[in-house]
Amino acid sequence: MYRTHNCGALRISDVGQEVVLSGWNQASRDFGGMTFVDLRDRYGITQLVFNIDDNKELAEKAQKLGREYVLRVEGVVRERSNKNPNRPTGDIEIEVRSMDILNGSKTPPFTIEDETDGGDDLRMKYRYLDIRRAPVRENLIFRSKLAIETRKYLSDNDFVEVETPNLIKSTPEGARDFVVPSRMNPGQFYALPQSPQTFKQLLMVAGMDRYFQIVKCFRDEDLRADRQPEFTQIDCEMAFVTRDEVLDTFEGLTKHLFKETLGIELPDFPKISYDEAMTRYGSDKPDTRFGMEFVEMNDFAKGQGFGVFDNSELVVGIVAKGIASEYSNKNLKELTEWMQRPQIGAKGLVYVKFNEDGSIKSTVGKFFDDEALVNWGNRMGATPGDIIFALSGEAEKTRKQLNELRLEMGRRLGLMDPKVFNPLWVVDFPLLEWDEESERFHAMHHPFTAPKKEDEQRMLTGDHETMKSLRADAYDLVINGVEIGGGSIRIHDRDLQSKNFDLLGFTKEEAEAQFGFLLGAFEYGAPPHGGIAFGFDRLCAVLNGQNSIRDFIAFPKNNQGRDIMIDAPAPVDQEQLKELHLDLDLENK
Ligand code: ASP
């Protein structure tokens, strides 16, 4: 038998018991006569003790153990004289009677402790060692619990888990597809799903009523800390539902998950429209853990003779509370330069600093006297000690820039408490986005999203300009500035769906070739339906107050989309290419 207990199980009440434990040597400490070994497994760490006076041969064997050796020991539980209150097993230790070395180990390339000296790439290359570390292991256990609780909640609410295929035809979610060559169909390719969108809609036509799947999705996009080429969604669809029924169901799921995993009872989620989110925060995923909301300044800052403002569509600002004494000219210059970096692209940054002593310092002091600036303060809620930051320009762009500043100030002022969770629904997104460059409309969510009922007629009959103002029955769940998920009520009428493809620039033939199966299904009694998908990896990270989704994925890819442990992607040999009809003679191209 390898073990009677795991390494996290034994307590003071077990003193005197004879036990067998197996695990890894996390660390050993040799004090001449006494050798201590920390034996680790998934469940915890138990201290082993070897005494040279009791068994010389065994103690010497213990002295020679390398890190990460795999051991099986037999011994007796005894009370520790020097207790470790930080460990659940810290009151006891095992007086070892015999030990088998089940396997040796090379010295690991980084320390297998909570805080490691291993850089990202090294940890990814030896991910199996990284997962031995408690923080990574706990993340994966957390993820498993989250998946189980998701299944419980959805199953209790009559959702049926249905698997949809991975080898499909491309679904237009807006990203690039990964493609897979077909051996049996020369020159043809499958695409890996960006999401099971069309399949889940077909399941509604099929009468499944409520579907869910915890499902891998694939998008060939440039990567960031919160993106992976393959990621997991909690994907759902419901028939005969209104928007609010979908939102209630998934608010319920979110509350359930917070309660079961963190013990947190979330209050009801506020709903704000896309327009309101953009006006108040300059973002469709606002972090509402802190205020610093936008104040539009057109009516008191424009028309006062300052050309830059006067020629701008929008003057808008925020108030940073209580930072006037901290922010010297040098700091403000540095902040201005930060805003002028190409990533943000602000032309400049206007500030008004209300010093504690009542004096005022401003970049626009030449154009606005103190009385005018005090008026700004009154209108914006700034008092001595505060700084107003303002930007001006084209409305949409300026709001986006100010959003970056708001978030940066939130970070700098420590207003983003990782223990606070502020969920909200953003609703009523625009249906279509006009792209100046390609001179065409894109679907803001995806091409299957329905316009709001009251906009349906305008969509069917309106002119080009009208299309820009259509609202969709689309919604996002946002928590602490992170988009957790999104969905929509879908079009279930063939004509409306055709009209949408038409607006998106598909010819009739293209629409038929790509989506004929869906349009066809809509002719056989498609019920009204809608759904949502949550980013599962992101949800894991957000619940843990972390940004990077990588540490919640057992075997993630790096920023170049590589798995550096198995070294993928990799070339395949000529034979395989030939079989796939891909034996392109690259050298002679
Ligand atoms: N398929 C959508 C997505 O992946 C979610 C949905 O509309 O249900 O974002």
Structure tokens at 285: 């995923």
Identify the band that residue 225 occupies on the pLDDT scale cut at 50, 70 and 90: low
Q: Are 62 and 28 in contact (CB under 8 A)?
A: yes
Question: Is position 478 within any domain?
Answer: no
Cα(469) to ligand 1 centroid in Å equals 22
Total domains in the chain come to 4
Domain co-membership, 121 together with 263: yes
Name the residue range of residue 508's domain: 429-472+493-526
Q: Which of 171, 173, 197, 247 to mutate to test the pocket of ligand 1 (most atoms within 8 A of CB)?
A: 197
Ligand 1 touching residue 487 (CB < 6 A): yes
What is the per-residue pLDDT for 588? 54
CATH code, domain with 36: 2.40.50.140
Q: Above pLDDT 70, what percent of the chain?
A: 98
Residue written as tokens 């959805």?
154
Residue reference for tokens 């005894």: 78
Task: Give the pTM.
Answer: 0.94
Same domain, 303 and 254: no
> Which one of 53, 76, 103 terminates a domain?
103
Q: Say how far apart CA 140 and CA 145 lie, in whole Å.
A: 9
82 and 153 inside one domain: no
User: Phi and psi at residue 174, in whole multiples of 5°?
Assistant: 105, -15
Q: Are residues 535 and 522 in the same domain?
A: no
Same domain membership, residue 299 and residue 178: no
User: What amino acid is encoded at 510 in this protein?
Assistant: E
Task: Place 438 in a pLDDT band, splitting at 50, 70 and 90.
Answer: confident
Q: Has residue 360 been placed in a domain?
A: yes
Q: Per-residue pLDDT averaged across 207-233, rounded? A: 92
Residue 266 CA to residue 250 CA, distance in Å, equals 13
Residue 3 lies in a domain: no
Q: Which residues, in sequence order, are CB contacts of 473 under 8 Å at separation 6+?
A: 243, 428, 449, 450, 451, 452, 453, 488, 489, 530
The verdict on 256 and 189 lying in the same domain is: yes
Give me the residue label for tokens 């990567």: 223
Residue 393, Ramachandran bin (φ over 0: left; ψ between -120 and 50: alpha; else beta): left
Residue 47 lies in a domain: yes
Q: Are 370 and 380 contained in the same domain? A: yes
Using one digit for the tens of pLDDT, what is the confidence trace for 94-137?
999 999 999 999 999 999 999 999 898 999 999 999 999 999 99
Six-digit token pair at 186? Answer: 């020369």
CATH of the domain at 399: 3.30.1360.30
The reply to whether 325 and 446 lie within a common domain is: no
Neighbouring C-beta atoms of residue 271, cutoff 10 Å? 16
Average pLDDT over residues 2-14: 98
Residues 6+ apart with CB under 8 A from 35: 28, 29, 49, 50, 52, 59, 62, 63
Is 240 inside a domain boundary?
yes
- Write the CATH number for 572: 3.30.930.10
Do 213 and 294 share a domain, yes or no?
A: no
Distance 201 CA to ligand 1 centre (A): 11
Pocket test for ligand 1, best of 164, 171, 173 (most atoms within 8 A of CB): 173
pLDDT in tens, 270-321: 999 999 999 999 999 999 999 999 999 999 999 988 999 999 999 999 999 9
Residue 251 and residue 204 share a domain: yes
The finding on whether 213 has its CB within 6 A of some atom of ligand 1 is no
One domain, residues 171 and 214: yes
Instruction: Assess whether pLDDT exceeds 80 at residue 587.
Output: no
- The average pLDDT across 81-86 equals 95
> At residue 39, does pLDDT exceed 90?
yes
Mean pLDDT in residue range 373-386:
96
Q: Is 531 in the pocket of ligand 1 (CB under 6 A)?
A: yes
If asked whether residues 262 and 296 sit together in one domain, one would say no
